[in-house]
Structure 1
Amino acid sequence: MNNEPIPNTHSTIELYIAQERLRQARYSFNLSLVATTLSFFIGLIGAGLILSNQVPEGTVAAAGGLATSIRCIQLAKDANDRLDKVLEDIKDEN
């Protein structure tokens, strides 16, 4: 068994950074997916409240769902941009 420490070369550090970016992008995407699902259901509840003549509550719920949806789209775009950056970095190395 080799007990010698592995040297942290420039490419090894870049690999760790790329892996961390991928991990963060994965978590951001998963969070965005969950938040989008919740936003969808909040919007449905808002629509149901509006249809049941509880307009103020329905409006608040629908607006909350819409605001959450916009933020989720932004999170997904940020995760995609991080993945694109990792891909560019890998292409630049080769």
Structure 2
Amino acid sequence: MKQKIIDELLRQARLTFNVALAITAASAIMTLSGVGLVYLNKIPEASLTTTAGILASIGSVQFAKDAKEELREMIDKLPEKS
């Protein structure tokens, strides 16, 4: 039973990591788009796009960190094999 729980937690951790990676990639694209808009003299749009990209990146990193910490806590709480 303990192994099934660990396997499920690892599956969820992988999924969480993949989602965080996708969000980080999307936010990087948004940030680069904002930089491109600055060079095209579209300053208000650039500010909005760059800010959204940075906020999404920060949020995804925090989400991945929280998920990892939760996984560690769950593993620590699992009963030891007798």
Question: By the TM > 0.5 criterion, same fold?
Answer: yes
Q: Considering only aligned residues, what root-mean-square deviation do their CA atoms show, in Å?
A: 1.8
Question: Unmatched 5+ residue regions in structure 1?
Answer: 1-11
> Is the contact made by 1:46 and 1:61 (CA closer than 8 Å) also made in structure 2?
yes
**Ranges of 4+ aligned residues in structure 1 off by more than 3 Å:** none
Q: 1:38 aligns with which of 2, 26, 29?
A: 26
Task: Tell me what 1:61 maps to.
Answer: 49
Q: Who is 2:10 aligned against? A: 22
- Give the C-alpha shift of residue 87 in structure 1: 4.5
How far residue 24 of structure 1 moved from its aligned partner, in angstroms, is 1.2
Deviation per residue, 1:21-50 (Å, 9 max, x gap): 211111110100111011111100001101
State percent identity of aligned pairs.
36
- TM (norm. structure 2) is 0.82
**Inter-partner Cα distance in structure 2 for 1:23 and 1:78:** 16
Following the alignment from structure 1 to structure 2, what is the Cα–Cα distance between the partners of residues 51 and 75? 32
- Of residues 72-81 and 43-52 in structure 1, the stretch that sits farther from structure 2 once superposed is 72-81
Whichever of the two has the greater Rg, that structure is 1
Q: Quick check: 1:47 aligned with 2:24? A: no
**Correspondence for 1:88:** 76
Inter-partner Cα distance in structure 1 for 2:53 and 2:24:
9
